[in-house]
A and B are shown apart, each in its own frame.
Chain A
């Protein structure tokens, strides 16, 4: 005979929270959560009390007040009578400009150096090693300051271009002026311009859209659409008949003919820089603060990217190359079709953090007087209005937003190139 006993009834004692492994982790998490919230509450409370003692309250009204200062590099129209928020917008655009330029250049240099470092040519591989080790082991601020100092001290001042016995002259058929204030390059001008559309009227976030640029972009998009059609048709013909029709002349024609027609219609010409008064006038002016920052950030970040690229390529086993060769693929195709698609999986995630680093490092811009958002909102505005807390919080939100956007885009790209695992 068997005796059936009921399973012991679940009883719950308080001590089980600590001694029972089923509950312990939850207990610890709850306690940690409380401690964390207490700490946060204490800090926030402390901030509020101290701000009250100083007689300051947290408001954002100062953003609408007149900024009163000028900004040298402005991508939209701005003058000293505009509001602080518009000044911050100018700074934000400057940050984005240097971040985008920097990311592109750093990627190009980084990939090049990374591949070269794996070269079987002893000298090239060693030179690239030296480059990587020098740049990534010295703080980026020093590179920025050094780049600026070199630009200022080694290039001629605009006044050296003046007079009969000028000690400096313009380059490339008098179209480019390289001075210690920056580089002046020819700018595209349109004599029959379509004009601009002013959006948002007098609002702080107002901006103009150039209709010329829109027209060019639309024509370019149409051309590319046409080229894809032609290429799809060629593919279809090839699939059906085995012969691929020659399309390159049609492709080139589709790309260039409509663009040239449009440019002629708009009266496209170049505006050259010219020495007038104290400075060069006309042309596009790239200030040396931008160049120094851009150069230093790209070279610095490229050293990291080079290592990532090298690691990515080395991560693919030699067998893959050998297998590809066995199938008769040439080295170029092996790289493009076999190695890189697999290497990208390793390369892209760390690449994202380097793009983020570059963007955040651009806040060192003030070292060379580049007016990024740290220089406008976090610098002059903060100083003139005395709203440290508000300005720093806004700055943090801005950088957070930029970084999350970059991550978002890169993650999307990562998903689109990663190997589909079955």
Chain B
């Protein structure tokens, strides 16, 4: 018995050993590569394409950070994580940052000792059902079998929602989106629930997307964003402001098309500060002056990244909605670059 406990301590100590020390920024620079945790595959957010290259909305954040820090958007090692393994991977130092449509909650921020560096997608939990069931509201789901990704906030929201409405359900816990899709399509569950964006992305990959409907209820607030470990503020700043640079670029009208021109200098001092032709913002972060320019050049500003990966012209077809700039009635609002 003593031996087993010891072996466990050994394993855990081995895991914990990697977590030591601050200075992720220096580590990444020394390694020449960013280790970024993403999903195991959710089309539009993070999935390998036909050539095996990762692409998607969350992947774009990883690439922007890599470009800002290392000047090379391909210097990223994508580490697929499940809802269950993601926090351990981040806490143990296996990954430098996690961009895996992860909901910013109090307990994750405070108790799990992570630092959310912003929100790249304002989401909410929804339900998808086959049209033939004739269900029009989530409140009609009494007794339904619900597929759910285990280890996520959706699991807790679901329990709360059904409890609050005093209806019953049968949860079917599932590890990955792919397994959920298999069970849902085979009819082993009536309903699939996760973030509405994830549902839309999953539905887009079905043979017949029109045979499935998203129910109108959005039962939770799910602000999704990249996160890093607590306590390493320099690194947290780098990730936070790389994301903010993409958002501010959209607001300031910087696109992948005109960034070359704008980087030569403009009349707008904020654009100049952002792109490094004025001021020392890069130096303050411990990066090159052109850090934000590199980040924006990868896939364009936030709006362009959104449109390319999950926007209305893609099969996923998400509207900007809450994720429009504050100037357009949305919630995106980057603090000033000053």
Q: Of A278, A371, A380, A388, which contacts B91 at CB under 8 A?
A: A388
Chain B residue numbers with a CB within 8 Å of A55 are: 113, 230-231
Report the nearest B residue to A45, measured CB to CB: B13
Task: Give 1 or 0 for each of A279-290: 1 = CB within 8 Å of chain B CB.
Answer: 101000000110
Report whether A44 and B9 are in contact in the complex, using a CB–CB cutoff of 8 Å.
yes
Report the nearest B residue to A385, measured CB to CB: B111
**Segment among A68-76, A230-238, A266-274 that sits at the interface with chain B:** A68-76
Report whether B12 and A47 are in contact in the complex, using a CB–CB cutoff of 8 Å.
yes
Chain B residue numbers with a CB within 8 Å of A385 are: 107, 111
Report whether A80 and B9 are in contact in the complex, using a CB–CB cutoff of 8 Å.
no
| Segment 365-422 of A: residues with Cβ below 8 Å from B | 366-367, 369, 371, 375, 379-380, 382-386, 388-389, 392-393, 396-397, 400, 404
* A51 adjacent to chain B (CB < 8 Å): yes
* B131 adjacent to chain A (CB < 8 Å): no
Chain B residue numbers with a CB within 8 Å of A149 are: 182
Report whether B187 and A279 are in contact in the complex, using a CB–CB cutoff of 8 Å.
no
User: What does DSSP make chain A's interface, helix, strand, loop or mixed?
Assistant: helix
The winner among A149, A180, A386, A392 for most chain B CB atoms within 10 A is A386
The winner among A46, A366, A383 for most chain B CB atoms within 10 A is A383
Chain B residue numbers with a CB within 8 Å of A69 are: 155-156, 159, 171
Report the nearest B residue to A42, measured CB to CB: B13
Report whether B150 and A396 are in contact in the complex, using a CB–CB cutoff of 8 Å.
no
Q: Of A44, A51, A279, A366, which contacts B143 at CB under 8 A?
A: A279
Report the nearest B residue to A154, measured CB to CB: B186
Taking the closest CB of chain A, its distance from the CB of B229, in whole angstroms, is: 8
Chain A residue numbers with a CB within 8 Å of B160 are: 68, 80
How far does the alpha carbon of A54 sit from the alpha carbon of B150 in the complex, in Å?
Answer: 25
* A15 adjacent to chain B (CB < 8 Å): no
Taking the closest CB of chain A, its distance from the CB of B131, in whole angstroms, is: 13
Report the nearest B residue to A367, measured CB to CB: B175
Chain B residue numbers with a CB within 8 Å of A366 are: 150, 173, 175
Report whether B112 and A386 are in contact in the complex, using a CB–CB cutoff of 8 Å.
yes
* B324 adjacent to chain A (CB < 8 Å): no
Report whether B20 and A379 are in contact in the complex, using a CB–CB cutoff of 8 Å.
no
* B327 adjacent to chain A (CB < 8 Å): no
How far does the alpha carbon of A81 sit from the alpha carbon of B171 in the complex, in Å?
Answer: 16
Chain B residue numbers with a CB within 8 Å of A72 are: 170-173
The winner among B4, B132, B151 for most chain A CB atoms within 10 A is B151
Report whether A279 and B174 are in contact in the complex, using a CB–CB cutoff of 8 Å.
no
* A40 adjacent to chain B (CB < 8 Å): yes
Q: A55-B113, A375-B150 are in contact. Are A157 and B143 (CB under 8 A)?
A: no
Chain B residue numbers with a CB within 8 Å of A198 are: none
Chain B residue numbers with a CB within 8 Å of A277 are: 142-144
Report whether B12 and A369 are in contact in the complex, using a CB–CB cutoff of 8 Å.
no
Report whether B150 and A379 are in contact in the complex, using a CB–CB cutoff of 8 Å.
yes
Report whether B13 and A68 are in contact in the complex, using a CB–CB cutoff of 8 Å.
no
Q: A47-B16, A153-B186 are in contact. Are A40 and B9 (CB under 8 A)?
A: yes
Chain A residue numbers with a CB within 8 Å of B1 are: 400, 404
Chain A residue numbers with a CB within 8 Å of B252 are: none
Q: A369-B174, A400-B4 are in contact. Are A278 and B19 (CB under 8 A)?
A: no
Report the nearest A residue to B7, measured CB to CB: A396
Chain A residue numbers with a CB within 8 Å of B190 are: 278
Given contacts A53-B20, A383-B150, could you give 20 more A-B pairs where the C-beta distance is less than 8 Å? A44-B13, A47-B9, A50-B20, A68-B160, A69-B156, A70-B158, A81-B163, A153-B186, A158-B187, A180-B186, A277-B143, A279-B145, A369-B173, A369-B175, A380-B173, A383-B87, A385-B107, A388-B15, A388-B91, A400-B4
Can you list 20 contacts pairing A with B, beta carbon distance less than 8 Å? A44-B9, A50-B13, A50-B19, A69-B159, A70-B162, A81-B163, A149-B182, A181-B170, A278-B144, A279-B144, A367-B175, A369-B174, A380-B151, A380-B155, A386-B87, A386-B111, A388-B12, A388-B91, A389-B16, A396-B4
Cβ-closest 3 pairs across A and B:
A157-B187, A386-B112, A80-B159
